[in-house]
A = this chain, B = another copy of it.
Amino acid sequence: MEETETGRRFDQLLEKNNLKKTQPRLSVLKVLASRKTATSQPALEEILGAEIDRVTLYRVLRTFEEKGIIHKVIDLNGTANYATCDESCTEHAHDDRHVHFNCTHCLHVYCLDSLHIPALTMPAGFTASQMNLIVYGICEECNEKER
């Protein structure tokens, strides 16, 4: 097993959540951590190829999401995209105040961690517990190419 910095970080992450360090789980973590945009299940499947069974991938993603290791962003087409969570995410307080950006050109989903969702006043009777703001538009890379 590799002894890299990130390798050890993944081990700790799994350990902390009472999950065994298995090859499929480490592969998924590696891919997600290496990408700056959220990744869809189909894309993960393509990247990981034969390395991991499709059913296992579904299960790994579900487990990770339940544990708060990753979070899901729904894109334009209703497809789930996954990204690793920052430290503040746990099983119970999750994914709060996140802003996401979905490029309508390359379809990538970015986590804009620097942007917070502004406070909102709910109509009488409604209690907010969580919110998700997704912005659609053209991302940096696609804007570059256009120039």
Interface residues, chain A, CB within 8 Å of chain B?
A: 72, 74, 78-80, 99, 101, 104, 110, 112, 114-115, 117-118, 120-140, 143-144
Contacts and interface: CB of A to CB of B under 8 A. Distances in A.
B126 A139 contact: yes
Given A78-B74, A118-B118, A123-B115, A129 B133 contact: no
Given A78-B74, A78-B80, A122-B137, A127 B115 contact: no
Contacts of A118: 118, 120
Contacts of A123: 112, 114-115, 140
Nearest to A75: B74
Contacts of A144: 125
Given A74-B78, A110-B126, A126-B138, 19 more contacts: A72-B78, A74-B74, A78-B79, A112-B126, A114-B123, A115-B120, A118-B118, A125-B143, A126-B137, A126-B139, A127-B137, A127-B143, A129-B136, A130-B136, A130-B137, A131-B134, A132-B134, A133-B134, A134-B134
A3 to B, nearest CB: 35
Contacts of A125: 139-140, 143-144
